[in-house]
Amino acid sequence: MADTWDRSADLVVIGFGGAGAAAALAGAELGASVLILEKQPEGRHTPSTSMSGGIVMATNDVERATTYLDRCAGGMIPIEVSRAWAAKGTDLVQWLDKVGADLALERIGGAEHPEFEGSEAIESWAQSRPSERVPHGTTVREHKPGAPTNVSTGGVRHARRIGLEYFAGLRGAVAMRSEIGVRYETPAQHLIADDGGRVIGVEATQAGRTVRIRALRGVVLTTGGYEFSDEMKINYLKASPMYFYGNPGNTGDGIRMAQEVGADLWHMNQMVGRAIGHFDLDGQELNFVIGIHPPGYVITDRYGRRFANEYPQAEMKHSFYYELLRYDAEKNEYPRNPCYWFFDQRHMTNGPLVSSLGGTVGAGYYDWSPDNSREVARGWIKQAASFGALAAEAGFADPAEVVHTIEAYNQGCAAGQDAFGRPESSLIPLDSPPYYCMPLYPGGPNTCGGPRRDEHARILTPFGQPIPGLYGAGELGEAVGMLYPANGGNLSESVCFGRLAAEHALGRVLPLLRRFAGNRRNLQGNTAARRGVDRGFPGPAGRVPPGFAGGLLPAGSAGRGRRDGGGVPRQG
């Protein structure tokens, strides 16, 4: 049978975001040839990493961080997977420097749940340089207390560099490595497995034709989640509708490809969440990070009643969205989806209600007006001189209920005591007309579910066996369970598991992880490992990559994807 591979590389990475860049850079460090396949065009490439706040979480103690991450996971993530993340996080900042990302990171915070054991081992880092996307000395609204979006240099406050600049640093580091190639507008369609179930390549489309790329050492799936797959969202997530402000190209491609070769899935109902803005403009879905703080704010259900302490949402934490998931079986509805945010003119004059340098605006999908006037004119933000008129304008069936709710809130502000337990510092009355209302939906930056993986980033079958040659990293099945651990958790996980995937595919495993994994190996795994890492596929020119130890990839069960018997490609 004729050889029909169009090209080959030691490592094939599907998806060029933060996780894909990390996997590629880690592979290049070990002397491997790497090919990244990206489905978006180069000129409109907007990975979720570039749309993020650009914060990255690191760790300073493996065991303490493991304890903390395990508590946040809520039983959804095996502790050895959390330990692998914690171990890689200890040198994350130094590694980003070493590979040439040039981020000038500084520590700005810590764990999102400081009351949990081990929280002191969690650190959040951000870029210390000012953004060049706004005039020198320009600041942006501080939507995120505890994670400042402005930075002081020379006594002057500036807007801080965030996700766009963070990913630009990674992309620049990738561009400096001759071992790495990037192919834009080349969406992967299927994984190619041999008769033994090992993933040996990728089938993709490029310029209208099918191309087949052989992966000599492994394939790393870094395709992002399923934030823009309506079918997956309604079937997997805990409520509907849900909206996301990450990459619009994230439509669950990696999940389908992994399933085709026999992958198990895990925590498909999990996401990194908060209440967000969602609007339609000429048939285009637009979703936004919304900052409700400061000053005063009230959030009600569709009947005009408060239902929870809004302070976590104001602090831009990732737990308030759980309050929005309540389902009323008798009425067959989600009474808090959407919920409604009420505020007054003082908040309006503070600047844009959305992140102006990140998310949908920062990626160039929409230009939010500096004073929010364009959005009021579009009807996205309702405005009125009184809360009764505002509630009627917003479509409430009983405007009097909204008026009663706001009056009760204002009385609590005067008394310094809130019915839902908000801190006194947040109790600022809504008394400066005109008044405003905006619907908010459960959503966030990304989903967390995807192919199940182990502490080496290997993707597993439903029986817990690694699928040989297949790895995953980033929000595609990320190691986040019930609670988001800290600002920067997404970017941290993407880098740490991207590195783990590349290192294991190329035969290098951290001694610490080897030690913890040693107690778990069964006879079948050890026997399979002794058969060798590549089942007949040598590295480039037959050489062994630096650090390659051999015998570390156990043979898993056979997959169900595109097949090539005995490692010989079929005719395309």
Shared domain check, 409 and 306: yes
Judged against a pLDDT cut of 90, whether residue 13 lies above it is answered with yes
258 within a domain of the structure (yes/no): yes
CATH number at residue 283: 3.90.700.10
- In this prediction, residue 548 carries a pLDDT of 30
Query: Whole-angstrom distance between the N-terminal and C-terminal Cα of the chain?
Result: 11
86 within a domain of the structure (yes/no): no
Judged against a pLDDT cut of 70, whether residue 77 lies above it is answered with yes
Mean pLDDT of 97-101: 97
Can you give 88-150 as a three-state secondary structure string? Answer: HHCCHHHHHHHCCCCCCEEEEEEECCCCCCCHHHEEEEEECCECCCCCCCCCCCCCCCCCCCE
Shared domain check, 434 and 312: yes
Judged against a pLDDT cut of 70, whether residue 444 lies above it is answered with yes
DSSP 475: T
Task: State the chain's mean pLDDT as an integer.
Answer: 88
Last residue of a domain, one of 421, 445, 469: 445
Judged against a pLDDT cut of 70, whether residue 546 lies above it is answered with no
Q: From CA 486, how far away is CA 109, in angstroms rounded?
A: 9
Shared domain check, 397 and 455: no
Q: From CA 143, how far away is CA 391, in angstroms rounded?
A: 26
Shared domain check, 395 and 342: yes
Instruction: Say which range, 141-155, 264-278, 289-303, 458-472, has the weakest mean pLDDT.
Output: 141-155
CATH number at residue 495: 3.50.50.60
Judged against a pLDDT cut of 70, whether residue 570 lies above it is answered with no
Among all chains, which residue has been given the structure tokens 């801190």? 423
- Give one DSSP letter per residue of 143-207, joined into a string: -STTS-SEEEETTEEEEBP-HHHHHHHHHHHHHT-TTEEEESS--EEEEEEETTS-EEEEEEEET
Residue 144, both tokens: 């995120």
Shared domain check, 526 and 460: yes
Judged against a pLDDT cut of 80, whether residue 513 lies above it is answered with no
Shared domain check, 174 and 287: no
Last residue of a domain, one of 382, 413, 445: 445
Judged against a pLDDT cut of 50, whether residue 167 lies above it is answered with yes
- In this prediction, residue 373 carries a pLDDT of 96
- In this prediction, residue 508 carries a pLDDT of 77
187 within a domain of the structure (yes/no): yes
223 within a domain of the structure (yes/no): yes
195 within a domain of the structure (yes/no): yes
Judged against a pLDDT cut of 90, whether residue 136 lies above it is answered with no
Mean pLDDT of 104-126: 97
Q: 546 in helix, strand or coil?
A: coil
Judged against a pLDDT cut of 90, whether residue 469 lies above it is answered with yes
366 within a domain of the structure (yes/no): yes
Tally of domains within the chain: 2
Specify the pTM: 0.88
Shared domain check, 206 and 192: yes
Last residue of a domain, one of 400, 422, 445: 445
Shared domain check, 453 and 436: no
Q: 33 pLDDT band (50/70/90 cuts)?
A: very high
Q: Which residues, other chains included, contact 399 with Cβ-Cβ below 8 Å and sequence gap of 6+?
A: 304, 387, 388, 389, 391, 392
Q: 137 pLDDT band (50/70/90 cuts)?
A: low
- pLDDT tens digits along 292-313: 987 799 999 999 999 999 999 9
- In this prediction, residue 153 carries a pLDDT of 73
Strands (E) in 407-492, as ranges, are 435-447, 450-451, 458-460, 466-472
Most confident of 111-120, 141-150, 504-513, 544-553: 111-120
291 within a domain of the structure (yes/no): yes
Judged against a pLDDT cut of 70, whether residue 556 lies above it is answered with no
Q: From CA 482, how far away is CA 452, in angstroms rounded?
A: 16
Q: Which residues, other chains included, contact 314 with Cβ-Cβ below 8 Å and sequence gap of 6+?
A: 145, 292, 293, 294, 297, 426
Mean pLDDT of 190-199: 97
Shared domain check, 415 and 301: yes
Shared domain check, 441 and 473: no
Judged against a pLDDT cut of 50, whether residue 357 lies above it is answered with yes
Shared domain check, 350 and 404: yes
Query: What share of the chain in percent tops pLDDT 90?
Result: 80
Instruction: Say which range, 157-161, 247-251, 468-472, has the weakest mean pLDDT.
Output: 157-161
124 within a domain of the structure (yes/no): no
Q: What kind and span of H or E run contains 344?
A: strand 339-344
- In this prediction, residue 179 carries a pLDDT of 97
Q: From CA 174, how far away is CA 166, in angstroms rounded?
A: 13
How many beta carbons lie within 10 A of that of residue 331, not counting itself? Answer: 8
Instruction: Say which range, 275-289, 333-347, 531-545, has the weakest mean pLDDT.
Output: 531-545
For residue 417, give its domain range. 273-445
- In this prediction, residue 145 carries a pLDDT of 54
Mean pLDDT of 171-176: 98
Residue 447, both tokens: 């989903």
Shared domain check, 381 and 341: yes
* Torsions phi, psi for 215 (to 5 deg): -105, 110
- In this prediction, residue 295 carries a pLDDT of 79
- In this prediction, residue 563 carries a pLDDT of 56
- In this prediction, residue 155 carries a pLDDT of 75
Instruction: Say which range, 38-52, 113-127, 319-333, 521-535, has the weakest mean pLDDT.
Output: 521-535
